[in-house]
Chain A
Amino acid sequence: MTVPAAPGPAPAAAPGPVLACRQWADRRADVDPLTGTVTSDPRSAAASPADDAALECALRMATAWGTHVVAVTVGPPGSEAVLREALAAGAERAVRVDAPEPGDAASVAAAIAGVAGMVGARAVLCGDMGWGRGSGAVPALVAAVLDARQALGLVDLATDPEQPGVVTGWRRLDGGRRQHLRAAAPFVASVEGGVALLRRAPLAGVLGAGQATIEVVAPAGTCPVPSWTPSSTGPGRPRTHVVDGPDPDDPVRRRVELLTGLTAERPARRVVRAEPVDAAHQLIAALADWGEWS
């Protein structure tokens, strides 16, 4: 299925620099199970694989379109580490929106949109989620503030040097389906972590990034969050799979047996006591017997 990211691709336009968003968060934050207090250590903070993939896509896009990448993060001074990584990998400019505390999606989106305006970026790339698996709303909110097209949650992204400012990609839908998107700048795209592997920064880039200047700007306030009403609050119900039925020529009893699995042979229940290693071996052997392990 191919659909244009609303409201439809405009003719290719000069995209300006590509803005790559990078969230700085602790990969191994400790959550106290009793109090819920989160303790984090800046040394284990990094950009998520999805943000890394977005940076790689941005770098490829900029190369294809003959432009450059600006990296942005919203965070405290420590978050400049993810910007230096971007500079080392090939971004030309880096901007940190100063925010001592992690903000909510609306304020982060407003900050990113502000930087997009400041640097003249009409193509914005984000990861589809950070380490914290937050609301995932930032890219959509950035698009709302910039009045840009959205191509979110992409599992594949392609750019064409002949069409600067236009991206195509595939998005994952429920039920194992895919949607093909095509969007022209201004757009906000978010990608999953598997879309691209961030290149290993060359040594010269790393040496240069250590000394590079990072622009620091004040946060831009917040953006209006569209109000919405959930259409359903029940559990997700995946679509039923169509399974081939029994042969209609089989006797009724056989068909009922096949459909219900009533007479299918079930493994006998066994209770065993064993040392952990032995127990693991027994589990594996049982799974193999049931055809669940090969």
Chain B
Amino acid sequence: MSAPGSLTASDNAASSDAARFDAVVVGAGPAGSAAALVLARRGHRVCLLERGPYPGSKNMYGGVVYPRILDELLPGWWEEAPVQRWVTRRATMMLTADQALTVDFRSEAWGQPPYNGATALRPDFDAWLAAKAVDAGALLVTSTTATGLLRDGPGGTVGGVTTDRPGGDLRARVVVACDGVNSFLAKEAGLYGKPDPANYTLGAKEVLALPAATIEDRFALGPGQGADFEIIGCTGDIAGGGFLYTNRDSLAVGVVLHLPALAAAGVRPEQLIAGLKAHPAVAPLVAGGELVEYSAHLIPEGGYDMMPTLTGPGMLVAGDAAAMCLAAGIWLEGVNFAIGSGMAAGESAAEALERGDVSEGGLSGYERRLRDGFVLQDHRRLRHAPHLLLSDRVQRRYPQLACDIVEDLFTVTNPEPKPGIGRLVRRRVASSGVRLRHLAADSWRALRTFG
């Protein structure tokens, strides 16, 4: 009699053909599902491995996806994607303790096909995308964690992964690591240098339940329309930002915090969220919302400059695992970059498999694809954005300066006549302690980064 849980010969997955695949994709987030979908469509035997009980169960983010990258892969995606609201209103808020300056834009075009952005819940969105990969023929294995790499090919070529299940080796000719930020697989493969906490931020959010009609009233939205607020100046002494998004019948409100600064400040993220919710410009929007969820997750904020080597022999890295989340102030886009890089990884792995060359050279088409597309082009162009945006001046001094200037501009001080705008700006700049040469240098950096 075998002891409970012990292995018999037939249990040993590694020895059976059932556990041999052309490709193993680790992580059924957006990157992994996109990679598995592309590989399966090209007729390869793919295993999509996910540690959570279902795709999306472990995943959190702010709440807005920009799925136009799916136009080619899943034409008409908007008819079936599990969307909460179509974002038709985007606002960027600058907050000081008691002021708020908001640039508010809305477009009805974004509320119609092919749409622009949408709020979506990750357990819905990730499960939907993974189901597409399964429909195409990928085998989804859940509740199973990849624990390491099998490296028994020539020259240490990766030949699969070990898992936390008894008899749990999965053999594959290519491994696509889509295991998210802080990828243990990419680290084990030696693709990352020494990790630097300064490259990471921690995102924390609360989901507040409110009736759909209340949300539409408060945010001046039509039925099914959504709003996306990015907020700066709401994180005290810690560099970072905030966000407020509308789901169907809930709001997502949260902060993104520079990791070393958060550790040094000794403040808990939920205190900062509480402060954000209490701000006079935000409080009326979230009032009465019932807290139904709290979550936190790392973001690879460093972008281009923290990216690992993207390929190794028998292995590719995509999505957050390769630090491909674009966090550039007014843009916080990770899901579309994950899907884009996952698709490129899937295509390059499929090509390499078809050519019978999964060496580092054979997989080099991946990086080429990324360089030719938006993923690395946007990242390269915006590579200085994280530094600029997390600097003290952008975080605190400029929001204060901008709010003060606007307050002066709209404060009527009769019987005094209105001051000239130029004089008013000069006066405020002088009293703010911001040096003109810093302002000029930052403007120049901003122009070079975003221009």
Interface residues of A (CB under 8 A from B): 43, 46, 56, 59-60, 63-64, 161, 196, 199-208, 210
- Pairs A–B under 8 Å by Cβ, sample size 12: A43-B57, A46-B53, A59-B4, A60-B4, A199-B5, A202-B167, A203-B141, A203-B168, A204-B13, A204-B16, A204-B18, A206-B144
Contacts of B166 in A (CB 8 A): 200-203
A28, B360: Cα distance in complex, Å: 46
Interface residues of B (CB under 8 A from A): 1-2, 4-5, 7, 10-13, 16, 18-19, 53-54, 57, 123, 127, 139-141, 144, 163-170
State whether A202 touches B54 (Cβ < 8 A): no
Chain A to chain B: the 6 pairs with minimum beta-carbon distance, closest first: A199-B5, A203-B13, A202-B11, A204-B13, A203-B168, A203-B165
State whether A64 touches B18 (Cβ < 8 A): no
State whether B141 touches A201 (Cβ < 8 A): no
Pair count A-B, CB < 8 A: 63
Contacts of B7 in A (CB 8 A): 202
**A202 in contact with B4 given A43-B127, A207-B19, A207-B141 (CB within 8 Å):** no
CB < 8 Å neighbour of B11 from A43, A46, A59, A204: A204
Contacts of B165 in A (CB 8 A): 200-203, 206
Interface centre among A56, A63, A200 (most CB of B within 10 A): A200
Contacts of B123 in A (CB 8 A): 43
State whether B141 touches A204 (Cβ < 8 A): no
State whether B13 touches A200 (Cβ < 8 A): no
Contacts of A205 in B (CB 8 A): 11
A201, B163: Cα distance in complex, Å: 12
Residue of B nearest to A60 (CB): B4
State whether B19 touches A203 (Cβ < 8 A): yes
CB < 8 Å neighbour of B141 from A56, A200, A206: A206
State whether B10 touches A204 (Cβ < 8 A): yes
Given contacts A203-B144, A205-B11, A207-B141, 9 further A-B contacts (CB under 8 A): A196-B4, A202-B168, A203-B163, A203-B166, A206-B165, A207-B19, A210-B139, A210-B140, A210-B141
Contacts of B141 in A (CB 8 A): 203, 206-207, 210
Contacts of A200 in B (CB 8 A): 5, 164-166
CB < 8 Å neighbour of A203 from B57, B140, B170: B170
| B160 → chain A closest CB, angstroms | 11
A161, B141: Cα distance in complex, Å: 35
Contacts of B53 in A (CB 8 A): 43, 46
A199, B166: Cα distance in complex, Å: 10
CB < 8 Å neighbour of A207 from B5, B18, B57: B18
Residue of A nearest to B9 (CB): A204
Contacts of A60 in B (CB 8 A): 4
A200, B144: Cα distance in complex, Å: 10
A46, B143: Cα distance in complex, Å: 13
Residue of B nearest to A208 (CB): B18
Residue of A nearest to B169 (CB): A203
| B142 → chain A closest CB, angstroms | 9
Contacts of A59 in B (CB 8 A): 4
| B298 → chain A closest CB, angstroms | 24
Contacts of B5 in A (CB 8 A): 199-200
| A32 → chain B closest CB, angstroms | 12
| B175 → chain A closest CB, angstroms | 16
Residue of A nearest to B142 (CB): A206
Contacts of B1 in A (CB 8 A): 63-64, 161
| A28 → chain B closest CB, angstroms | 11
